[in-house]
Structure 1
Amino acid sequence: MKTLTLDVDYDCDFDLFGLVSSSREHTLAWVLNRVLHLRLVKQPDLVYDLLARGRLVISNYLHATEHLTLRLLRNRSVDPSPLKKPFLAPDIKEYDYLLQISNGVGGLAAPALLASLDALPEVQLVSQLDPNSLQFKENLLF
């Protein structure tokens, strides 16, 4: 019997930032709320069931307005996982958190946001990433 596979190429139309921080997620969300004048609110954890291999439980904070959507995602699974790489984006596992922004303008546009995040003492390293170049970019589509 012939097996068919479906190849779908997703186009990611959001800005993605990788953050290295030793802060806990709620502390980092509070700092981002204070500095960037946001209202990041804890959402139910994202659960990815990977059939027989295990599951990922990803912490998720959301700030949504009519024109802007901003998510703070923890890159590593919150629950212990039997997976070899328990990351939301295993190809960028060196980042502790991912910041996903759709329609960022003004202070939340990519260059201004990069400068603001880099100035925070809670953030050791921040980089802007190209989501279209990631191998597991479909994990970032909600």
Structure 2
Amino acid sequence: MKTLSLNIEYDYDFDIYGIVSPVKDYKLAWVLNNLFDLQLSRQKDLCYDLFGKDRLIISNYQYITDHTIIRLFRNKALVATTLKKPFLLPDIKEYDYVIQIAGAMQQLYPQEFINKILKTPLVQYVKKFDPLTLKFKENLLF
């Protein structure tokens, strides 16, 4: 009998930024709203059931227009868990938050975007990542 396999190639057409900041997620969303004239709003938390053992619950903020989607995620799980790696993106566990930008706002110069975020004293460090280099990039597909 012939075996068929399904090969799916996803489109990772978005930018990823990691942010180091000790503030709460709602405070960072408020800062980003003021810096970039956005309206990031809290959405239903992301819930990943992993291997039937435990759940990974991640806070989720988003702003959607006709041409842009911006999402802010807390990288670490909201609820205590028994998972070894309770992160949305364990590849970049050193970062407290992840910003995902798709669409027209991607056209901004990344260094200008980073510099603008770093102007606020609430953010310690920002770095842009190539989604294709991340092992757990599928966690960002919705």
TM-score, normalized by length of structure 1?
0.90
Q: Name the amino acid aligned to 2:99.
A: L
**Would the alpha carbon gap of residues 110 and 83 (structure 1) be closer, same or farther in structure 2, given more than 3 Å must change?**
same
1:103 aligned partner = 103
**Structure 1 stretches of 5 or more lacking a match?**
none
The residue number in structure 1 matching 2:64 is 64
Q: Give the Cα separation in 1 of the matches to 2:105 and 2:35.
A: 16
Q: How many Å separate the matches in 1 of 2:56 and 2:130? A: 23
What 5-or-longer segments of structure 2 have no aligned partner? Answer: none
Kept in 2, the 8 Å contact 1:16–1:131? The answer is yes
Q: How many equivalent residue pairs?
A: 140
Whichever residue aligns with residue 132 of structure 1, its letter is L
1:4-57 per-residue CA deviation (whole Å, 9 max, x = no partner) reads 875544331001100000000000001111111000000000000013331100
**Percent identity of the aligned residues?**
49
Give the structure-2-normalised TM-score: 0.90
- Report the equivalent of 1:80: 80
C-alpha deviations, 1:68-119, integer Å up to 9, x for none? Answer: 0000000001011110110000011000000000024388542321111121
Distance, in Å, in 1 between the alignment partners of 2:63 and 2:53 is 32
Partner of 1:14: 14
Equivalent pair of 1:104/1:110 in contact (CA under 8 Å): no
Q: Which runs of structure 1 show a deviation greater than 3 angstroms over 4 or more consecutive aligned residues?
A: 3-9, 104-109
